[in-house]
């Protein structure tokens, strides 16, 4: 089998699993999850084969694996689809395959496979636990299996199909198809527990918010197609095409943008929606309504990464027209949005109490890092942070799911009424859940960029070094402070959750989760540490060069011009270390003595600022006022009352009334008098004649004969008379 053929097959197993589960095996839970995990395993295997083949191929960047099929005839041409494995997609494939597989395995444990069905669990609601009687006759409440277990695996299968399609496709069209399939699946999965009103609201919010971005992205794709006549990357990124795009002014020459800049910005708006960048970030924290594996899928492995992957993919287009390392206007847009989002979301995360929401905002912030890195031209740094982040954020999300699961176990055990997601209800879990603790710690340190050992340090450091080295001071300072805030809230989270003493009975009775959940954590934790070593800058003191800077060599090869690795500079490095260590220690100092029921120390220290942060800068409320309410108002007053009832119904009623009037004219002046009149006349006439001559019909034979005689005489008389006349 050629490597191209394997690449074609990569997305198919999860899709097949989806259809088989939905159509046939829905009722059989074990069969369904075996199918889904098996499909993920197949795709993972294929991805690893492709990845290994890719790293063994020299000059993959200029000679990628590519294969193209004619798909749709468009006039005289064909719309082509195809697959492409270049270093960027190979690297993306690597982390997608691993995280997807881990999440699939984790889902088995997360949805309580092997537990009894709940006492009164309903479809569309979280499982509420089942009562079991042990050997001593004691009754216990234990976690119960998810009622819609198979449905979940079908959905994540479809989700995985969307992501694989997006990664291996060689053109924007199939990328967009995969993109939208994921959009649908995220909608379905966020609203997985659809009987919860909050989940329903979140699913709609996520769908509509990302749709705003997608519309612009589709516009960008259409613009690109109409200009270049192709959507395949190899066509778009030809130097002469890029040159042409960069020198053509955009339609209407808005803000003096070139066509390339305009298309780049339109496509980037798609990313803003998908990767939850400001100002379309609002859907992502609400998406925490879904089950935790979904959060990991959406927030780490697949969907939000897809947004960043797409802009990284489009980087040559964004960069087109830049001279001598200057930023193009499209890149400035990226830098501004990314930097702002990074610091903005990080500050919100500080004031959140829900363990998953903290991570959601940290995701937004980290994605901002990548976008900002791309904006300042740090292509490789953005890609490597994307890869590292996928691993450690998946680890953190799955870890938080494990924590919630453990605390839920405690809640069921003690029958206490506490929120199992609120970090202030936890504490001291390191003894109860050691595997979860250590892996979460590794993930958290990677997120904060703990020096030297963690993956996050190397990629984040690289971004900061690029910002510093190229003289983007604002970006550098903002990202460095965001790094400090990140380290702070991460340590806050770890301290509140795992350190200290349990603050509730539920936390006291928390229990380590099953191996299906901890195994993925361990594997992801290994990557969260070791992966960073493949991206150490060669000019780094002492350890630099011990391991070649593999990521730079490999991923950088995607671009036609290999980006130069910056020489080592001690300043950003020191800033990065200070920010990480400072944030971590501050977080530990502030929260280490948190008592049950006590106020958040930050609330006391920051006062109204804390309220502002806690309410996420009131963005939901602002959007509610600016967009949602006016939309409802418009829908009701304009669309419903004026447009629908007034104009459309009016026209319809008018037509109906005219038709009805014309009809009654016909009825009264033509149908009734003429048509009916004639019919009635014939009928009535015949009746009248019949009535008047029926008296002859006496039934008496002699009278008939007499009548005949009279008539015969009459006739004879007539004939005789007539004869005599002639």
In the bound state with other proteins, the residue whose beta carbon lies nearer, of 658 and 705, is 705
* Residue span 74-103 as binding mask against other proteins, x where in contact by CB under 8 A, dash where not: ------------------------------
In the bound state with other proteins, the residue whose beta carbon lies nearer, of 604 and 706, is 706
Q: How far is the CA of 102 from the CAs of 114, 178, 520, in angstroms?
A: 19, 21, 5
We find the least distance from the C-beta atom of residue 689 to other proteins, in angstroms, to be 13
Neighbours of 48 (CB within 10 A): 15
In the bound state with other proteins, the residue whose beta carbon lies nearer, of 139 and 694, is 694
Q: Does 647 bind other proteins (CB under 8 A)?
A: no
Nearest Cα residue to 288 out of 422, 384, 130: 422
We find the least distance from the C-beta atom of residue 700 to other proteins, in angstroms, to be 5
Nearest Cα residue to 383 out of 585, 586, 551, 602: 551
In the bound state with other proteins, the residue whose beta carbon lies nearer, of 1 and 695, is 695
Only segment of 227-235, 346-354, 428-436, 703-711 that touches other proteins (CB under 8 A): 703-711
Q: In the set 23, 701, 722, 723, which binds other proteins (CB under 8 A)?
A: 701
Q: In the set 136, 256, 702, 723, which binds other proteins (CB under 8 A)?
A: 702
Backbone φ/ψ region at 601: left (φ over 0), alpha (ψ -120 to 50), beta: alpha
We find the least distance from the C-beta atom of residue 691 to other proteins, in angstroms, to be 10
We find the least distance from the C-beta atom of residue 694 to other proteins, in angstroms, to be 4
* Residue span 106-125 as binding mask against other proteins, x where in contact by CB under 8 A, dash where not: --------------------
In the bound state with other proteins, the residue whose beta carbon lies nearer, of 611 and 703, is 703
Only segment of 341-349, 432-440, 504-512, 704-712 that touches other proteins (CB under 8 A): 704-712
Q: What is the dihedral of CA 258, 263, 266, 271, to 10 degrees?
A: -120
Give start and end residues of each alpha helix (H) in 315-378: 315-319, 329-350, 355-375
* Residue span 657-696 as binding mask against other proteins, x where in contact by CB under 8 A, dash where not: -------------------------------------xx-
Query: Which residues make Cβ contacts (< 8 Å) with residue 402, sequence separation at least 6?
Result: 433, 436, 440, 513, 517, 518, 521
Query: Which residues make Cβ contacts (< 8 Å) with residue 456, sequence separation at least 6?
Result: 388, 389, 392, 445, 446, 447, 448, 449, 450, 528, 532
In the bound state with other proteins, the residue whose beta carbon lies nearer, of 471 and 699, is 699
Query: Which residues make Cβ contacts (< 8 Å) with residue 19, sequence separation at least 6?
Result: none
We find the least distance from the C-beta atom of residue 670 to other proteins, in angstroms, to be 38
The position carrying tokens 């982040």 is 389
In the bound state with other proteins, the residue whose beta carbon lies nearer, of 72 and 709, is 709
Q: Does 698 bind other proteins (CB under 8 A)?
A: yes
We find the least distance from the C-beta atom of residue 713 to other proteins, in angstroms, to be 12
C-alpha torsion sign, points 517, 520, 523, 526: negative
Query: d(Cα 291, Cα 199) in Å, to the nearest integer?
Result: 10
Query: d(Cα 203, Cα 186) in Å, to the nearest integer?
Result: 8
Q: In the set 705, 711, 715, 720, which binds other proteins (CB under 8 A)?
A: 705
We find the least distance from the C-beta atom of residue 705 to other proteins, in angstroms, to be 6
Neighbours of 652 (CB within 10 A): 10
The position carrying tokens 């879990």 is 429
CB–CB of 384/369 below 8 Å?
Answer: no
In the bound state with other proteins, the residue whose beta carbon lies nearer, of 62 and 697, is 697
Cα Rg, the chain, nearest whole Å:
37
In the bound state with other proteins, the residue whose beta carbon lies nearer, of 695 and 723, is 695
SS3 state at 354: strand
Query: d(Cα 60, Cα 560) in Å, to the nearest integer?
Result: 11
In the bound state with other proteins, the residue whose beta carbon lies nearer, of 56 and 691, is 691
In the bound state with other proteins, the residue whose beta carbon lies nearer, of 696 and 723, is 696
Query: d(Cα 315, Cα 378) in Å, to the nearest integer?
Result: 10
Q: In the set 30, 574, 622, 706, which binds other proteins (CB under 8 A)?
A: 706
Token pair in block for residue 198:
């909050």
* Residue span 453-492 as binding mask against other proteins, x where in contact by CB under 8 A, dash where not: ----------------------------------------
* Residue span 489-508 as binding mask against other proteins, x where in contact by CB under 8 A, dash where not: --------------------
Q: Does 707 bind other proteins (CB under 8 A)?
A: no
Q: In the set 571, 634, 709, 715, which binds other proteins (CB under 8 A)?
A: 709
Query: d(Cα 658, Cα 453) in Å, to the nearest integer?
Result: 82
Query: d(Cα 125, Cα 407) in Å, to the nearest integer?
Result: 18
Neighbours of 376 (CB within 10 A): 26
Token pair in block for residue 316:
């040559």
We find the least distance from the C-beta atom of residue 710 to other proteins, in angstroms, to be 11
We find the least distance from the C-beta atom of residue 697 to other proteins, in angstroms, to be 4
Q: In the set 120, 139, 700, 725, which binds other proteins (CB under 8 A)?
A: 700
We find the least distance from the C-beta atom of residue 716 to other proteins, in angstroms, to be 14
We find the least distance from the C-beta atom of residue 712 to other proteins, in angstroms, to be 11
Backbone φ/ψ region at 315: left (φ over 0), alpha (ψ -120 to 50), beta: alpha
Q: In the set 544, 585, 697, 711, which binds other proteins (CB under 8 A)?
A: 697
Query: d(Cα 507, Cα 494) in Å, to the nearest integer?
Result: 14
Only segment of 251-259, 352-360, 558-566, 699-707 that touches other proteins (CB under 8 A): 699-707
Neighbours of 620 (CB within 10 A): 15
Nearest Cα residue to 361 out of 282, 246, 434, 422: 282
Nearest Cα residue to 430 out of 441, 419, 444: 441
Residues 349-378 close enough to bind other proteins by CB under 8 A: none
We find the least distance from the C-beta atom of residue 704 to other proteins, in angstroms, to be 9
We find the least distance from the C-beta atom of residue 719 to other proteins, in angstroms, to be 19
CB–CB of 451/381 below 8 Å?
Answer: no
Interface size with other proteins, residues (CB under 8 A)? 11
We find the least distance from the C-beta atom of residue 701 to other proteins, in angstroms, to be 6
Let me know if 552 is exposed, middle or buried by CB neighbors in 10 A (0-12, 13-18, 19+).
buried
Neighbours of 508 (CB within 10 A): 17
We find the least distance from the C-beta atom of residue 682 to other proteins, in angstroms, to be 22
Query: Which residues make Cβ contacts (< 8 Å) with residue 607, sequence separation at least 6?
Result: none
Q: Which residues bind other proteins (CB under 8 A)?
A: 694-695, 697-702, 705-706, 709
């Amino acid at each position: 089998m050629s490597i191209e053929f394997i690449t074609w097959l990569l997305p198919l197993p999860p899709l097949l699993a989806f259809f088989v589960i939905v159509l046939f095996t829905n009722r059989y839970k074990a069969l369904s999850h075996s199918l889904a995990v098996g499909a993920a395993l197949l795709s993972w295997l294929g991805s690893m084969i492709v990845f290994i083949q890719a790293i063994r191929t020299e000059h993959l960047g200029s000679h990628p694996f590519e294969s193209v099929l004619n798909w749709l005839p468009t006039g005289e041409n064909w719309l082509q689809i195809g697959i492409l494995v270049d270093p960027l997609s190979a690297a993306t494939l690597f982390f997608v395959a691993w995280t997807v597989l881990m999440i699939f395995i984790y889902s088995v444990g997360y949805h309580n496979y092997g537990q009894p069905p709940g006492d009164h669990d309903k479809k569309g609601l979280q499982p509420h636990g089942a009562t079991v009687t042990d050997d001593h006759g004691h009754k216990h409440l234990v976690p119960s299996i998810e009622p819609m277990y198979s449905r979940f695996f079908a959905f994540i299968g479809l989700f995985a199909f969307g992501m694989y399609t997006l990664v291996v496709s060689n053109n924007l069209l199939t990328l967009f198809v995969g993109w939208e399939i994921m959009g649908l699946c995220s909608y379905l999965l966020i609203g997985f527990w659809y009987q919860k009103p909050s989940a329903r609201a979140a699913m709609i919010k996520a769908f509509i918010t990302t749709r705003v971005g997608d519309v612009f992205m589709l516009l960008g794709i259409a613009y690109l197609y109409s200009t270049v006549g192709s959507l395949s990357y190899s066509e778009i990124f030809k130097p002469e095409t890029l040159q042409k795009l960069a020198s053509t002014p955009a339609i209407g020459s808005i803000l003096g943008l070139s066509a390339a800049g305009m298309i780049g910005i339109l496509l980037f708006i798609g990313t803003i929606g998908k990767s939850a960048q400001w100002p379309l970030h609002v859907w992502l924290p609400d998406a925490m309504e879904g089950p935790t594996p979904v959060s990991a899928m959406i927030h780490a492995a697949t969907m939000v990464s897809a947004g960043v992957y797409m802009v990284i993919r489009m980087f040559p287009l964004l960069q087109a027209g830049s001279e001598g390392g200057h930023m193009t206007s499209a890149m400035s847009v990226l830098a501004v949005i990314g930097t702002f989002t990074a610091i903005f979301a990080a500050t919100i995360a500080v004031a959140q109490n829900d363990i998953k929401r903290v991570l959601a905002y940290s995701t937004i912030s980290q994605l901002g890092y990548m976008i900002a890195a791309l904006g300042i031209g740090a292509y490789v740094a953005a890609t490597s942070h994307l890869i590292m982040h996928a691993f450690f954020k998946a680890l953190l999300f799955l870890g938080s799911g494990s924590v919630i699961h453990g605390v839920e176990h405690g809640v069921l055990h003690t029958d206490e009424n506490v929120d199992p997601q609120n970090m202030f209800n936890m504490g001291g879990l390191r003894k109860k859940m050691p595997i979860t603790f250590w892996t979460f710690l590794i993930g958290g340190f990677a997120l904060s960029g703990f020096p030297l050992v963690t993956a996050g340090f190397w990629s984040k450091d690289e971004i900061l070094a690029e910002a510093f080295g190229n003289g983007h001071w604002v970006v550098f300072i903002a990202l460095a402070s965001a790094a400090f805030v990140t380290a702070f809230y991460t340590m806050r989270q770890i301290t509140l959750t795992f350190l200290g003493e349990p603050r509730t009975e539920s936390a006291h009775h928390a229990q380590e989760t099953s191996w299906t959940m901890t195994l993925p954590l361990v594997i992801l934790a290994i990557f969260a540490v070791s992966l960073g070593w493949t991206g150490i800058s060669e000019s780094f003191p002492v350890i630099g060069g011990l391991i070649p800077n593999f990521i730079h060599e490999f991923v950088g090869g995607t671009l036609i011009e290999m980006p130069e690795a910056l020489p080592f500079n001690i300043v950003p490095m020191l800033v990065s270390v200070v920010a990480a260590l400072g944030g971590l220690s501050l977080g530990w100092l502030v929260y280490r003595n948190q008592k049950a029921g006590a106020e958040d120390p930050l609330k006391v220290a920051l006062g109204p600022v804390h309220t502002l942060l806690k309410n996420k800068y009131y963005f939901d409320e602002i959007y509610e006022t600016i967009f949602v309410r006016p939309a409802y108002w418009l829908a009701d007053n304009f669309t419903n009352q004026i447009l629908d009832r007034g104009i459309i119904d009016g026209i319809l009623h008018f037509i109906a009334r005219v038709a009805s009037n014309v009809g009654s004219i016909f009825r009264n002046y033509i149908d009734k008098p003429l048509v009916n009149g004639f019919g009635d006349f014939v009928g009535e006439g015949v009746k009248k004649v019949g009535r008047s001559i029926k008296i002859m019909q006496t039934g008496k034979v002699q009278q008939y004969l007499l009548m005949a005689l009279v008539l015969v005489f009459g006739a004879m008389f007539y004939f005789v008379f007539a004869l005599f006349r002639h």
